[in-house]
Chains A and B, each alone.
Chain A
Amino acid sequence: MEAQDIRSRLTALLTSIAPDIDPATLDPVQDVRDQVDFDSMDRLHFAMAISEEFHIDIPEQDYPRLGALQKACEYIQAKLSAGGSSPATGA
């Protein structure tokens, strides 16, 4: 999946959880919580939405890696390519 596609689906998920956020104003390398009103319950719902939208498992200890949009995109991309390319090896 293209990075651009992941990014746009990710911002759609974000605004569905926090409709008052304007994604255009967000700095992609900074944690979302440090920029707008986004609390721990929002973060949990964000992780839930990402997991279901992209069909990936997100272990609890990885939640912090979803904080900034840029990092979250990279995380999802890594998960998707790991899942897609390694069914034979199981790695």
Chain B
Amino acid sequence: MQIEFRLPSLGADMERATLTQWLKKPGERVYRGEAIAVVETDKGLIDIESFDDATVTELVVAPGTRIAVGTVMARLSGEGVAGRAASEPPPPPAGAPAYAPTPPVAPAPAAPTPAAPARARLSPAARRRAHELGLPPEALEQRAAGGILHVDDVERLAAEAKAQASAASAPDARRTMRSVIASAMARAKREIPHYYLGHALDFGAAREWLTHYNAALPVRERLIEGVLVVKAVALAAARIEGFNGYFRDGRFERSIAIHVGTAIAVRGGGLVAPALLDADRKDLKTLMREFSDLVIRVRSGHMRSSEFMTATITVTSLGEDGVDTIYPIINPPQVAIVGTGCVSERLWAHAGSAAVRPVLNLTLAADHRVTDGRIGSRFLKTIAELLAAPAKL
């Protein structure tokens, strides 16, 4: 079966992207969820993953070409995935996407790729650093050239890759990001009849549980508050219908899978909201690791297409330094976004008396075409109840 591999839309706000590099060449096998190309968008560099198990037959677009969403980039031959609707986002990758250890088809400005699959010769600290910087160890293999790479080599390579990636567009990046956000948010405000709800909750139980949980762990394994919120929102979305999915072609399409978009600030201004996939089914430890990894890759500019195509609901947080309350705007075609302000100590009626407690303001912006305030209220209260019993998350 002939498959046309097209540039997917990586969000309502994306119209075009520039092909930076092919990770596969004709004759090579590509697996569903595996990265096949790297494109540069207004959000940074994104790995485009295959929707199918197939063999590459032809690369249609040359690196450096700016193409519109829907453009045929390559032709593949394979079985396809039976029953997959054309508009359906691709499935999440089974694991970390494999970086194809093949030479690029055409000279590409991105990170070098090795000629043969081999384990990069990196010191343990360098390997950790490469991971933190979002550099695949395989991409460093060639540079090792028989020697061993150390932390400073890895950092120098990361800086080079970053400089190359942003050289052409650096002065305009901020403006472009701003105009992308502006057009998506203008569309949201124009098309979606938002309603807003707010609920203040005692975050003490969650905080105490976290402090206790984290006390025995090294810094790398500790959880942050935001991860509890993501999990609670995912579980609430599984219980109460009408907040998880897309509004398209005049109707609500409920999604069974729950992929929670997390708004992450981009260095230099702007933000993106890639998804934590299947957040309702992952434990906190896994979610934390993926969240941390996502932030690092957003900041270093290496994201995956599946993370952009799949968010079914979004969570946005102002972080520890923010104000009490955020009134977020829905990210179309999603139908709900949950906001969390900064947890702050407030005078609070607790167990029959006045107490000073850490209080979190939760907000919900939801789509009136799908739900009403009454059910929105249930949704928000469910999130609050889940956060009040953090050990069960």
- Chain A positions within 8 Å of B, measured between CB atoms, are 12, 16-20, 33, 37, 39-41, 44-45, 47-49, 51-52, 57-60
Contact = CB atoms under 8 A, between A and B. Distances in A.
Contacts of B220: 48, 51-52
A20 B218 CA distance: 28
Interface string B313-341: 00000011100000000000000000000
Interface stretch (B125-133, B187-195, B302-310): B125-133
Contact of B132 (A19, A45, A58): A45
Interface string B212-227: 0011001110101000
22 contacts: A12-B155, A17-B299, A19-B159, A19-B162, A20-B267, A20-B268, A37-B265, A37-B267, A39-B265, A40-B224, A40-B319, A40-B321, A44-B292, A48-B219, A49-B132, A51-B220, A52-B219, A57-B218, A57-B219, A58-B219, A60-B215, A60-B222
B295 A41 contact: yes
Nearest to A15: B155
A49 B152 CA distance: 14
A48 B214 CA distance: 13
B184 interface: no
Given A19-B162, A44-B224, A45-B292, A39 B218 contact: no
Contacts, number: 55
Contacts of B65: none
Interface string B260-275: 0000110110000000
Given A37-B267, A39-B319, A58-B219, A45 B296 contact: yes
Contacts of B159: 19
Give the dominant DSSP class at A's interface: helix
B164 interface: no
A75 to B, nearest CB: 14
Contacts of A51: 218-220
A33 B265 CA distance: 14
A41 B155 CA distance: 20
A14 B220 CA distance: 16
Interface of B: 128-129, 132-133, 155, 158-159, 162, 211, 214-215, 218-220, 222, 224, 264-265, 267-268, 292, 295-296, 299, 319-321
A16 B129 contact: yes
Contacts of A49: 132
Contacts of A39: 265, 319, 321
A52 B319 contact: no
A20 B222 CA distance: 26
A17 B268 CA distance: 13
A24 B319 CA distance: 27
B320 A40 contact: yes
Nearest to B152: A12
A12 B267 CA distance: 18
Contacts of B264: 41
A17 to B, nearest CB: 8
A16 B296 CA distance: 11
A37 B265 CA distance: 10
A25 B319 CA distance: 25
Contacts of B265: 37, 39
B155 A59 contact: no
B303 to A, nearest CB: 15
A79 to B, nearest CB: 13
A20 B301 CA distance: 13
A23 to B, nearest CB: 14
A16 B133 contact: yes
Given A40-B321, A45-B295, 18 more contacts: A16-B133, A16-B155, A19-B159, A19-B162, A19-B267, A20-B267, A20-B268, A37-B265, A40-B319, A41-B264, A45-B132, A45-B292, A48-B220, A52-B219, A57-B218, A57-B219, A58-B219, A60-B222
A33 B220 CA distance: 21
Given A18-B267, A40-B319, A41-B295, A52 B128 contact: yes
